[in-house]
Amino acid sequence: MSKPPAKNKKISIAFCGNSAVGKTALFTRITKGIFNEHLEASISADVFTKQVNVDGQNHNVALWDTAGQEKFRSTTKSYLRGLHGVLFCFDITKKETFNCIDMWIQEYEQAQTLKDLAARYLIGCKGDLASKREVSREEAESYAKTKNMTYLECSAKTGDNVDTLLVSVIRSFKQKNPSLVTLGIMRPSVSDSSSSTLPSSSVTTSAPISAQPKEEEPVTLTKPQSSNNEPQEAGGCC
């Protein structure tokens, strides 16, 4: 008697960081395969489900694009619970956005129930603008090491490191939590049915949606939202 096909694992990964650092451009490149220089600021959180195969195992990945502006920060915190991976994003051409990563880590740790289980990545966005960089690769790598994070530079424009990012995050989570993987538990907390749980029908790439955060409930998929990214703003941790 043949074995039933293995169920797809469910993974939740969130992008967080200041407004205008390039989070939504990277999110759009990963989810749609396109680069758009003219994206509006994210004012809530968009979620996009995408099927990713890692080492022969399919994973239904929920990608969360969160708002970086201070006035939306309380809402953003709602999406930082129950994550398998978190991407702390900054603009390599704006040092002030790098200086704000400590604040974003604090926001994440205040929201996350089992923060040590998630794979943490520091993402240097706009890698195609290296000639204008204000943060050196060495400085970013050194900082990431002190925070037990993996550092990657990505370019939504050229696609550099975009295709491998999700695979890297999923592998990192599985390597960090082998006991959860062995048990077939792919959520950081088996008792937490917040944003890490998706409807079982979400098995293929879908349109971006506007999500309403609900604690202790599965993610609710609602109507598509056309707004995607962040305009350039003044400096500061917002």
Neighbours of 141 (CB within 10 A): 16
List strand residue ranges (DSSP E) for the chain, in order.
Answer: 9-17, 46-54, 57-65, 85-91, 119-125, 150-153, 209-210
Q: Identify residue 180 by its one-letter amino acid code.
A: L
The predicted pLDDT at position 77 comes to 64
Q: Is 182 exposed, middle or buried (0-12, 13-18, 19+ CB in 10 A)?
A: exposed
Instruction: Tell if the pTM clears 0.85, that is, is over it.
Output: no
The predicted pLDDT at position 128 comes to 96
Give the strands of the sheet with 57-65, arranged side by side: 150-153, 119-125, 85-91, 9-17, 57-65, 46-54, 209-210
How does the average pLDDT of the chain come out, rounded? 75
The predicted pLDDT at position 69 comes to 52
The predicted pLDDT at position 37 comes to 75
Residues of the chain falling short of pLDDT 50: 71-72, 183, 187-234
pLDDT tens figures, 15-55: 999 988 999 999 999 999 989 776 655 555 688 999 999 99
The predicted pLDDT at position 9 comes to 77
The predicted pLDDT at position 80 comes to 78
Domains of the chain: 9-207 (3.40.50.300)
Q: Whole-angstrom Cα distance, residue 74 to residue 56? A: 38
